[in-house]
Each structure stands twice: as C-alpha cells, then as structure tokens.
C-alpha cells in the first residue's frame, strides 16, 4: 500500500466529512439561504423583461453569468479563506504532525471546496428551474459544456486561492486580498449587465480574469447559439475560454505546490501561538 495514495484516499473521506459538516453549520446554512433568496429576488424582477432584440428572458440571460461567477468565488474564496483560517487555528500544523497528513489535508480541501462551490450553484439553480422554464430545455451538449467549464473554472481558481490563503497573514487579510478584488472584477465582467456597456479598456482588463470567461462559458452552455450575437466578437469563443482559464490553472498549479510547501515547512507551534495571540487581540 502506497502511503501517499492511501493518505489521498483518506483526504477524499476527509473532504466529504467536512462538506457534510458545512451543511449543518448554522452560519454556513444562513449564508447559503441568504444567497439563494437574494438571487431569486433578482431573477424574479428580471423574469418578465427580455434581452433587447431577442426573445430570451433577462433572467435566463443573467443566470449563467451568476453561476459562472459563483464558481470563481467558491474556488478562490473557499480555498483562500479555509487555508488562512486553518493555518491560524492549528489544523495545518496538526496535519503536518501526522504522516502524509498534508496530502490528506489538501486532498480534503480540494474536495470540500469543490463540493461547496457546486452546492452554491445548486442552491441558485434549483429555484431558478421554477422561475425560468427555458432551463429545462438545456440539452446534453449544454450540460457537457457546463461540466467542462465548471471543472476548468475550479482548476483556474482553487489553486490561486490556495496560494493567496498561504501568503495571507490572517483570515482578515484574505478579505482584502480576495473579497474586494472579486467584487471589483465581477462589476466589470459583464455578469449583471452586458460588458459592452463599459469602455474598451475596462473590457480588456475584465478579460484577463477568470470571472468573465466563466460567465461566458456558462452562457454558451445554457443559452441558444443565437444569443452569441451579443457577445464580444459575436462568438462564444470557447478556444479563448480554454486558453485564459487554462493559463490561470497552469499558473496556479505551478505556484501552489511551491507556496504550500514553503508555508508548511515554516509552520510551527511557536508561529501558531503568535497568530493565536494576534487573533485573541482582534476578538477581545
């Protein structure tokens, strides 16, 4: 039995367990319900208007972008937030004290963050099914496209999130490093309104980040091909989507092991104690 593979298998079980725990966590539960309600209200208001020049309802046009954005938020925020918190509270040090514990820990985190992100999608998608009848008409090709966009989206965001979480000094730093930029990038990524409304140079910036491409990718999966006419270049640009998301994934997958290893090596009880003291000062 290869101990590393064995630990990775334990990590799968660990990820599943932590995902299940997050389901019953009141704070997490409240957050999920709040999100679902907020989006349903937005979609309710958009239900009866249609996208100019088409017969696609506005709600149907906006939903894919929201789902795409949630993949990016789930991947980045989930990975960065949990790493920063678990570095501070000693979970990582605990993993380091166990043989191959880091392998198990990281596998577990990839599983639980991915499942958490998918749950975030389901929470929006299920009520949408009742509000947007077109959703039931997504064919197999659409679902397959959605599947690879989702997988690539997690690959593009989760490792980068882990890197940020390893570099952050404390969980509150993560807010500044992740949450605020996500809000900014979302605002310019054509999620809630067409990207055409923005100046050209802002559009260019938006297309550097994964959120725009995730929105575009999910739109390409759900919407009829005719809807591509209102996109940049009047095309779903799958090749570019794979290119940009793939590049982020590559950068993340190269950086993450190096940064994580460095962080794990530097992890010690004394460092944790120092962070604990800082955290207690924040709380107290």
Partner 1 sequence: MAVVGDVDRWAHHAEPAGEPAVIAVRGLRMRYGSVDVLKGIGFTAHRGEVITLLGPNGAGKTTTIEILEGFRMRSAGEVSVLGVDPGNGNEHWRARMGVVLQSWRDHGRWRVRDLLYHLGRYYVPYSTPERQRPYDVDELIQTVGLGEQAGQKIASLSSGQRRRLDVAIGIIGRPELSFLDEPTAGFDPHARRDFHDLVHRLSDLDDATILLTTHDLDEAEKLADRILILAGGRIVANGSAGQLIRQVAGQAEVRWSRGGEHLVHATDDAARFVRELFAQHGEEIADLEVRRASLEDTYMAMVHRYETGHVEEAVTGFEGASR
Binding site for partner 1 (CB under 8 A): 1-4, 6-7, 10, 13-14, 17-18, 21-22, 25, 86, 89-91, 93-94, 96-101, 104, 267-270, 272-273, 276
Residue 91 or 235 with smaller CB distance to partner 1: 91
Q: Minimum Å distance from CB 170 to partner 1?
A: 14
What distance in Å separates the CA atoms of residue 161 and residue 174, rounded to the nearest whole number?
9
Q: Minimum Å distance from CB 270 to partner 1?
A: 6
| CA distance from start to end of the chain | 48
Q: Minimum Å distance from CB 118 to partner 1?
A: 20
Short-list 53, 71, 226, CA closest to 134:
226
Helix locations, 3-100, DSSP H: 3-24, 26-46, 58-88, 91-96
Residue 43 or 264 with smaller CB distance to partner 1: 264
Residue 13 or 204 with smaller CB distance to partner 1: 13
Residue 80 or 214 with smaller CB distance to partner 1: 80
What is the DSSP secondary structure assignment for residue 232, as one 8-state letter?
Answer: G
Residue 50: strand pairing partners: 57
Q: Minimum Å distance from CB 80 to partner 1?
A: 18
Short-list 179, 174, 160, 136, CA closest to 249:
160
Short-list 112, 191, 114, CA closest to 147:
114
Q: Minimum Å distance from CB 54 to partner 1?
A: 46
Residue 18 or 134 with smaller CB distance to partner 1: 18
Q: Which residue has the tokens 């940064």?
A: 259
Helix locations, 89-170, DSSP H: 91-96, 101-131, 140-167
What distance in Å separates the CA atoms of residue 124 and residue 222, rounded to the nearest whole number?
14
What distance in Å separates the CA atoms of residue 147 and residue 142, rounded to the nearest whole number?
9
Q: Minimum Å distance from CB 26 to partner 1?
A: 11
Residue 180 or 262 with smaller CB distance to partner 1: 262
Tokens of 95: 């993993």
């Amino acid at each position: 039995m290869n101990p590393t593979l064995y630990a990775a298998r334990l990590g799968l079980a660990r990820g599943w367990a932590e995902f299940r725990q997050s389901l019953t966590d009141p704070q997490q539960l409240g957050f999920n319900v709040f999100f679902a309600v907020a989006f349903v209200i937005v979609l309710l208001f958009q239900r009866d208007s249609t996208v100019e020049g088409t017969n696609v309802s506005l709600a149907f046009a906006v939903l894919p972008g929201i789902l795409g954005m949630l993949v990016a938020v789930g991947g980045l925020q989930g990975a960065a937030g949990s790493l920063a918190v678990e570095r501070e509270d000693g979970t990582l040090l605990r993993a380091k004290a166990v043989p191959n514990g880091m392998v198990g820990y990281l596998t577990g985190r990839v599983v639980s963050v991915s499942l958490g992100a998918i749950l975030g999608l389901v929470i929006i998608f299920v009520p949408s099914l009742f509000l947007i009848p077109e959703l039931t008409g997504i064919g197999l090709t659409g679902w397959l496209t959605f599947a690879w966009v989702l997988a690539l989206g997690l690959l593009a965001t989760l490792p980068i999130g882990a890197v940020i979480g390893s570099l952050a000094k404390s969980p509150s730093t993560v807010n500044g490093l992740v949450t605020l930029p996500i809000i900014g990038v979302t605002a310019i990524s054509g999620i809630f309104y067409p990207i055409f409304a923005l100046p050209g140079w802002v559009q260019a910036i938006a297309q550097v980040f994964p959120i725009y491409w995730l929105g575009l990718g999910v739109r390409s999966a759900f919407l009829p091909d005719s809807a591509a006419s209102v996109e940049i270049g009047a095309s779903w640009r799958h090749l570019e989507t794979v290119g940009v998301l793939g590049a982020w994934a590559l950068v993340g997958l190269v950086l993450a092991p190096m940064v994580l290893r460095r962080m794990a090596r530097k992890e010690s009880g004394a460092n944790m104690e120092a962070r604990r003291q800082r955290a207690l000062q924040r709380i107290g």
